[in-house]
Amino acid sequence: MQHLAFLLVPGFSAIAFFSALEPLRIANRLADQQLYRWTIHAPKGDHAVASSGMQLRCDGPLPDRSDVLVVCAGFDPLSQVSPALLGRLRRGWRSGCELGAIDTGAFVLAEAGVLGGEIITLHWEASAEFRRRYAHIPVSARLYERHARLFTCAGGTSAMDMMLDGIALRHGAALASAVSDQLIHERIRPAHAPQRASIADQLADCGPALQRLIAAMEQAVTR
């Protein structure tokens, strides 16, 4: 059984959090055993408040030890992150804990000093600010990035694809596919899938010649 501790930073994205959590719940049900357990935590107090205003009751302070610690954030991710909390993340990393970030949770891991050696991703809307603030940390525009003890995703429904990918790695593709079917998620998107539709896709009615020109321009910009 794998224990995941979710740290919900005030203003976190509810859809991103539940997209990460629900695949774990369904995996337990389909496997008829507790493959995963989870606890929910906030930087302060006993409630976590999402960007929608929804409040979730938490399970107390972060545990001294968990298999995985996942930071889920949204708008203004560093506003209520204390030095003590950053120290807790650093200790978890040094002790061998797997760390994850959903949406703008990557800002929190960057502030803790545990990023820099491996490429990460986050929501496209926050990418430019992250690059400006942490120029030494490589950033991709992929849906999610997974390394030995670190994973990050763009937020939104990409958290679902990332968790389904994790289920496949730990418990097999058949279970991950069955969970995806339960979620009415017709396919598990790969990590390299783009976060946004290309400009050419958005201008599908503009004619093939202009579409080819726009596609060539996009490729040149991203090289």
Q: What DSSP character marks residue 204?
A: G
Least confidently predicted of 9-13, 95-99, 114-118, 196-200: 196-200
Beta pairing class for 2-8 and 68-73: parallel
Q: What is the overall mean pLDDT for the chain? A: 92
What's the pLDDT score for residue 160? Answer: 98
Quick: pLDDT tens for 81-93.
Answer: 999 999 999 999 9
Q: What burial class does residue 186 get, using C-beta atoms within 10 Å of its C-beta: 0-12 exposed, 13-18 middle, 19+ buried? A: exposed
User: Which residue, among 103, 117, 188, 183, has the nearest Cα to 147 in the 3D structure?
Assistant: 117
Mean pLDDT computed over 124-132: 97
What's the pLDDT score for residue 219? Answer: 63
For the chain, where are the E strands, in sequence order?
2-8, 36-41, 47-49, 55-57, 68-73, 98-103, 144-146, 150-153
Quick: pLDDT tens for 143-171.
Answer: 999 999 999 999 999 999 999 999 999 99
Mean pLDDT computed over 185-206: 77
What's the pLDDT score for residue 214? Answer: 65
For the entire predicted model, the pTM comes to 0.88
User: Which residue, among 164, 163, 169, 195, has the nearest Cα to 181 in the 3D structure?
Assistant: 164
pLDDT reading at 199 higher than 70: no
Q: How far apart are CA 81 and CA 112, in angstroms?
A: 10
